[in-house]
Amino acid sequence: MSAGESPGLASRIDTLGRERPDFVLMGPYLAYLLLLAVRDWVPVEWQWTANLLRGVGPLVIVWMWRRHLPALGKPHIPLAIGAALVAAAGWAAGHHFFVETLGLPQRLPLFPGTPDDPTELSPFAGLSAAVAWLNVVTKIGVAVTTVAVVEELFWRGFLLRALISWAEFEKEPLGAFTWFSFIGTSLISTIQHPDTWAVSIPCWLFFNAVMVWKKSLLMMMITHGLTNLFLYIYVIYAGDWALW
C-alpha cells in the first residue's frame, strides 16, 4: 500500500478483529440474532431462505476473523457425543418436568409476550411435504452448525470469561472458573430461551461444567451441535413441538 493510500475494507476488518477480541467473539452471535428477525418477514413457505441467510451470514463473519479466534482446543469426540446425549435428553425431559410437574410458567417471568401454542408450531401444518421438509432440514442444519459455533464463541468463549474480568477478558484462560461467571451465564441464558427458560439454566450449568473441565471450544461446538441434532430428531419423532 503506497503512502497516503487508505487501507482496504479487508484490512480494516482484520485490524478491527486484532484490536477488539470481544468483537470477534460477539459479532457472529449478534449477527445471528439480527438475522433471526428475517423469519418474521417472509411467508412460511419461504422460511428455508431465512434459515439459510442466518446460517451463512454469521459464519462469514467467523471466517473473516478466523485468524483472531482463540485456540479452539481438541474435539474430544466420544465425550462430546456422550455430553450431547445427556444434554438433549435432559432438555426434553426437564422442560416438561418444570412446566407440567412443578407448574412453573413456560414463558420467562417478566419477559414480554406469551408463549406460542405448541399445537401451532408444527412445521408441517398447511404446507406441502416438500416445502415443510425444506424448512425443517435447513433449520436443523443451521442449529447443528452455525448456532453451535456462534453461541459457543459468545457464551463459553466470551461471556464466561468476561464475567470474570470484563475489561481484559482475553487474559483469562478458556474454561476459567468463578461461581459468579459460572452461574451468571446460566441465568442470562434464559433471555435467549424465554419459553424454555427453566431447563436452560441446568443445561448451561452442564455446558459450563464441561467447558471448565475440558477447556475446549471445539468440543463445546461439537457438543452443542449434536445436542441440537439429537433434540430435533426427538421433537420430530415424538411430535413434541413445544421444543421446536
The single residue listed with the C-alpha cell 487501507 is 7
**What pLDDT, on the 0 to 100 scale, is given for residue 6?**
59
Please give the distance of CA 230 from its chain centroid, rounded to a whole number. 15
For residue 190, what pLDDT is reported? Answer: 98
Task: Output DSSP code: residue 72.
Answer: -
Distances (CA, A) of 16 to 2, 28, 68: 21, 14, 10
pTM: 0.94
Distance CA 39, CA 85 (A): 29
Smallest CA-to-CA distance from 70 within 156, 181, 166 is with 156
**Whole-angstrom distance, CA of residue 234 vs CA of residue 244:** 10
Query: Mean pLDDT per segment of 10 residues, for the chain of length 244 residues?
Result: 65 95 98 96 97 98 98 99 99 98 96 85 95 98 99 99 98 98 99 98 99 99 99 98 96
